[in-house]
Amino acid sequence: MKYRELSKFQIRAEITLMLQKLDSLEEMSREQQLKYLAKLSSISDNAYVVETLLKELAKADYKKGQIITVFLQELTTLEQVSDTLWKYIKSPESSDDVRDLSGIILKNLGDTTDPEEFLSYLENPREVVDKETKKLLEITSVNPEAQIDFLDFLFSLPEAEQANLVNSLQEDYSSESLINVIIPAFESRQIPHMDEHFIKILGETRSPKAAAALQDFIEYSNDEALNKKAKVSLNKLKLAGVQIPDPNAPEEAGEITRISSLYEFHTNIPDGLGNQAIIVSRK
């Protein structure tokens, strides 16, 4: 890489203009993220780039702060920013948004502090947790990694806490966001003790996606008791006016296909039983 020798004034000006451009967008695409990361990475004075981004973070709103967070996680190390970010977290002058984003950067750079300690510095931790959860639920429809992260977290909880988490999400978030995690959790069969609970929730979502999941379960499950409950939930959806998808119709393209293009395909040699994995990626 050919590094650019810029003065501190030029670095500040470039970062300010960059953040203004990105802040005006509804959402930063992966392509834009990589483009601007490459520009920042090409500046020889990395220390001043990081220093400038940290100063911008301290006065940023949540939207701009998220952009800065992405850049800092790629451009710096924990040792380089730890003291400053902890200063922001502990400062009474910092907003909860800045404290939250500082904690996210620290965690992603390898800080092992107990999350409860981060929360203890927030004035309104419930609001911050709700904001992060809502964001996670929204992006699970287009980001499989976020979906997997959520499922890993759900599966790692004790059984009682799994039910508490799902109940809490059902109370606080829209059905459309909720089904992005409920359906894969249900279809994964990793926590069968939650199946009855998932079936009940799917019957209350008023979503065609939920109807399709229930149809599949009824067709392939041998559990008569759960099949009856799944049929009840499916009938609830029908009575609510939900359009029940034709199981023989081709599946509609997901939202991710509208914002990305096909990238790489990978597969392996079939094993002795004929099993073969196929990985399809998009960018």
Residue 198 and residue 192: Cα distance in Å, rounded? 10
Residues 17 and 97 in one domain: yes
pLDDT band at 114 (very low <50, low <70, confident <90, very high): confident
Report residue 179 CA to chain centroid gap: 14
State the number of CA atoms in the 13 A half-sphere of 129 facing the CB. 14
Report d(CA 156, CA 232) in Å as an integer: 30
Q: Could you tell me if 112 and 172 lie in one domain? A: no
Mean pLDDT value across the chain: 85
Residue 266 falls within a domain, yes or no? no
pLDDT band at 138, cuts 50/70/90? low
pLDDT in tens, 121-137: 888 776 766 666 666 66
75 within 8 A of 49, measured Cβ to Cβ: yes
273 is a domain residue = no
Q: Which of 11, 37, 44 is nearest to 22 (CA)?
A: 37
Confidence (pLDDT) at 69: 92
Is there a single domain that holds both residue 157 and residue 117? no
Determine the pLDDT at residue 241: 87
Note the pLDDT of residue 209: 87
User: Phi and psi at residue 282, in whole multiples of 5°?
Assistant: -130, 160
Residue type at 199?
I
40-49, 121-130, 152-161: the lowest-pLDDT one: 121-130
Backbone phi, psi, residue 254, to 5°: -75, 170
Tell me, yes or no, whether 97 and 16 share the same domain.
yes
What are 179-235's pLDDT values in tens digits? 888 888 898 888 889 999 999 999 988 888 899 899 999 998 889 999 999 999 999
Q: Are residues 115 and 164 in the same domain?
A: no
Tell me: do 42 and 114 sit in the same domain: yes
Q: What is the mean pLDDT of residues 138-153?
A: 73
Q: What are 278's strand-pairing partners?
A: 267
pLDDT value, residue 272:
83
User: Residue 249: what pLDDT?
Assistant: 65
Q: What are phi and psi of 209, to 5 degrees?
A: -65, -40
Q: Which two tokens stand for residue 170?
A: 């059902």
The answer as to whether 164 is a domain residue is: yes
pLDDT value, residue 53: 95
Does residue 161 lie within any of the structural domains? yes
Residues 101 and 182 grouped into a single domain: no
Number of domain units in the chain: 2
Provide the 10 A C-beta neighbour count for residue 109. 17
Q: Do 167 and 90 fall within a single domain?
A: no
Task: Please indicate, yes or no, whether residues 173 and 102 belong to a single structural domain of this protein.
Answer: no
Of 47 and 190, more confident: 47
In a domain? residue 270: no
Buried b (16+ CB within 10 A) or exposed e, 194-225: bbebbbebbbebebebbbbbbbebbeeeeeee
Q: What is the pTM of this model?
A: 0.55
Contact predicate 181/205, CB 8 Å? no
Domain boundaries, position 56 = 8-123
Q: Has residue 129 been placed in a domain?
A: no
- Does the residue 58 lie in any domain? yes
pLDDT 10s digits, 78-97? 999 999 999 999 999 999 88
How much is the pLDDT for 169? 79
101 plus 156 within the same structural domain: no
Mean pLDDT of 38-52: 94
Residues 119 and 45 in one domain: yes
Residue 267 in this model has a pLDDT that exceeds 80: yes
Answer yes or no: is 232 within a domain: yes
